Structure 1
Amino acid sequence: MDKVKVSWFKKVMGWLKQVMLFMAFAIVITGLVDVWRGKDIERDNLPDMKALSLNNEMVDVLAMSQNDAVLVYFWGSWCPVCNFVSPVVDTMSAYYPTVTVAMNSGTDEQMKQYLQHKDYSFDTINDSEGLLAQNWSIRVTPTIMVFKEGELKFYTTGFTSLPGIWWRMLFA
């Protein structure tokens, strides 16, 4: 009986080791991809991100980030990956200041209907012509940025998990 328990334990530990190695490899690769994709993002002389949200409130991301980390999410209603990331961002918006920028996703009324249909509560700027995204050199959706004290602390593109966003916000 003891040999069976030891054998089972060794198999489980071997499996855990493989999972941990895979996760470490994935973190390194995604980090390198983020660095490569973020090479065009200005980090020193950041453009303004002041705009009117769909709630008719003036949003100033750099001013908001002076006291707290702010999550900024560039996305599109047409983006398939955003369908997986948007619910995560919506969850984070309950805990952290969050501003989303809907790129080329329709009129204000269409966006309001879309957000209501999806039951998203995050604050959204409708960038219907993609000018704000262009000003920020956003070429990939989804794109997530974390700002703190007026500085861009983290930048990532593509699929991002809840723990991935949470860790970025925590360490900003």
Structure 2
Amino acid sequence: MADLDKKTWIQKGLSGIKQLGIMLLLFLVVSTAVDLWRGKDIPTQDLPHISALDLDGNLVDVMAMSQEAPVLVYFWGTWCPVCNFVSPSVDILSNYYPVVSVAMSSGSDERLAHFLDDKGYTLSTINDKQSFLAREWSVQVTPTVMVFKDGELAHYTTGFTSLPGMWWRMVFA
């Protein structure tokens, strides 16, 4: 009887693993399809140049930076609820990779700097007060994460993304 229970338990465990694998594969396919649909307006050729001063007064030139290493560009807003979950991961990633954040329609430099300080974020942040850069890049969903390598857009995703997801995009850029 004990052998039968053990065999049944193993079969149920394998069945559960198979179901989990199918669900993860389905999630990956749907997530990729949604990313492609939401990002259909993001240019991939003749890319606009991202060159601006960050809140610390440093000139940030994403295309030049990407010649040395992959650069993650994070379009977000202080008003974006999903960004509250993604921003901490982006900040962690900025300790290991070049990261430039573009805060869309998030108020004055002082207000934005106060927000970043309150959250403990150390990101290089461009204040895109009127969302000029976002419109130039056809960013319509926040957050949007782009990875540039050698002056080219290597990866992008919109909406929620995890730290491992961003990390993998940086590794494979």
Shorter chain as denominator, the TM-score bin is: over 0.9
Superimposed CA distance per residue, residues 112-171 of structure 1 (whole angstroms, 9 cap, x where no aligned partner): 100010111111101111111111111110000000000001111000011111111111
1:161 and 1:15 map into 2 onto residues whose CA distance is 24
Name the residue aligned to 1:109.
110
Report the TM-score, using the length of structure 1 for normalisation: 0.97
Superimposed CA distance per residue, residues 77-131 of structure 1 (whole angstroms, 9 cap, x where no aligned partner): 0000000000111111111100000000010000110001011111110111111
1:93 counterpart = 2:94: yes
Name the residue aligned to 1:150.
151
What one-letter code is carried by the residue in structure 1 that aligns with 2:160?
A: F
Name the residue aligned to 1:21.
22
Superimposed CA distance per residue, residues 27-50 of structure 1 (whole angstroms, 9 cap, x where no aligned partner): 111111111122211111111100
Name the residue aligned to 2:44.
43
Indicate the percent of aligned positions where both proteins have the same amino acid: 56
2:123 and 2:16 map into 1 onto residues whose CA distance is 39
What one-letter code is carried by the residue in structure 1 that aligns with 2:72?
A: L
Q: Tell me the SS of whatever aligns to 2:39.
A: helix
2:157 and 2:149 map into 1 onto residues whose CA distance is 15
2:166 and 2:10 map into 1 onto residues whose CA distance is 33
Q: Give 1:3 deviation, angstroms.
A: 2.3
1:64 counterpart = 2:65: yes
2:124 and 2:11 map into 1 onto residues whose CA distance is 49
- RMSD over aligned Cα, in angstroms? 0.9
Return 5+ residue gaps in structure 2 as ranges. none
1:135 counterpart = 2:136: yes
Name the residue aligned to 1:3.
4
1:24 and 1:67 map into 2 onto residues whose CA distance is 34
Q: Tell me the SS of whatever aligns to 1:40.
A: coil
Superimposed CA distance per residue, residues 19-76 of structure 1 (whole angstroms, 9 cap, x where no aligned partner): 1111111111111111112221111111110000011100000110012111000000
Report the TM-score, using the length of structure 2 for normalisation: 0.96
Say how many residue pairs are matched.
Answer: 172
2:125 and 2:18 map into 1 onto residues whose CA distance is 42
What one-letter code is carried by the residue in structure 2 that aligns with 1:150?
A: G
What one-letter code is carried by the residue in structure 2 that aligns with 1:58?
A: L
What one-letter code is carried by the residue in structure 2 that aligns with 1:66?
A: Q
Return 5+ residue gaps in structure 1 as ranges. none
